[in-house]
Amino acid sequence: MISLMPRRCLPAVGLLLAGSLTWPGVGWAGEADLERVQPLAATSVTAQALLLMKDTQDSSQVKKAVELLQQQLHHTPDDRTARLFYGYGQLFLAGDFMLKKNYMRAAELSKQGFYAQDQAAEQEPANWSLFYLRARMDAFVPAENGRCVVANKDLDTLAEDPAVPASLQPMLTLMRARAEQSCAHPALAEKARQSLRQMGNQGTSLLPLLNGAAPSWRAEEINDVLLPLMEARP
């Protein structure tokens, strides 16, 4: 109960807010994009898990996704994509336990989630998509987790990689603004916001997302990050 565990006693990693770990909900993508994901579920465990986790408010579905990914990792421990999404699932479950005021369990799951993300990205450094997905989570979690430092490091890496599609630049800039904001760098956060304003409709459409929960997946993220990863993995 919260009366038995004051906020100051909670581990920093346990200060996750469920609303800040929002996976895309029912309207997570256009119908055409959703149709592109569904056929992959027949052969890709990662695709199956991704579809199960599309609504993070449904903890039973998220648990099923985590179990699928856990089984995949048991048989194929070097599947970095499955490991990264396993980390996502753990973080979403941590958010659910936060809502239930089970702070110790939330702290445990969030620690496991971040660890799985780190393993996935750092053990396959040539795969920029994994760094993108780690930054996609870390840029939007509460500042108390301290993950803004990791997000900024990943964003620096992505900025130097010519393989990263230009279509992702608006989202990368939004992530930068959020990460700098969490790291208490107001000048750098404002610089990123100004960059968004200079990107035309693609950038200005993201300005309302500078605060609040993580945004739903955008079509360019599905097409240029998620689908290639799932098509390349069993």
Q: Is residue 2, in this structure, part of any structural domain at all? A: no
Number of domains in the chain: 1
Assess contact for 233 and 79: CB atoms under 8 A: yes
Residues in the chain: 234
Q: What is the pLDDT of residues 128-169, one digit of tens each?
A: 999 999 999 999 988 888 999 999 999 999 999 999 999 999
| Contacts with 63 (C-beta within 8 Å, 6 or more apart), sequence order | 93
pLDDT band at 178 (very low <50, low <70, confident <90, very high): very high
- Backbone angles phi and psi of 150, in degrees to 5: -65, -40
In a domain, 7, yes or no: no
Q: Which of 1-10, 29-38, 49-58, 217-226 has the least mean pLDDT?
A: 1-10
Of 71, 44, 47, the closest CA to residue 226 belongs to 47
Residue 8 lies in a domain: no
In a domain, 208, yes or no: yes
Residue 19 has what pLDDT? 41
- Rounded to the nearest 10 degrees, what angle do helices 80-99 and 59-75 cross at? 150
Q: What mean pLDDT comes out for the span 201-207?
A: 91
Is residue 174 in some structural domain?
yes
- Asked whether residue 4 is assigned to any structural domain, the reply reads no
**Distance of alpha carbon 153 from alpha carbon 122, whole angstroms:** 12
pLDDT, mean over the chain? 84
Contact at 8 Å (CB) between 44 and 234? yes
pLDDT given at position 154: 97
Whether pLDDT at 20 is above 90: no
First and final C-alpha spacing in the chain:
42
Domain holding 93, by residue range, is: 14-227
pLDDT above 50 (res 218): yes
> Would you say residue 26 lies in a domain?
yes
Query: Cα–chain-centroid distance for residue 83?
Result: 13
Report the CATH number that the domain containing residue 125 is assigned in CATH. Answer: 1.25.40
Tens of pLDDT, residues 64-84: 999 999 999 999 999 999 999
Q: How big, in percent rounded to 5, are the helix, strand and coil portions of the chain?
A: 70, 0, 30
Whole-model pTM: value is 0.86
In sequence order, what DSSP letters do the residues of 211-227 get, joined into one string?
Answer: SSSPPPPPHHHIIIIIH
Q: Is residue 38 part of a domain?
A: yes
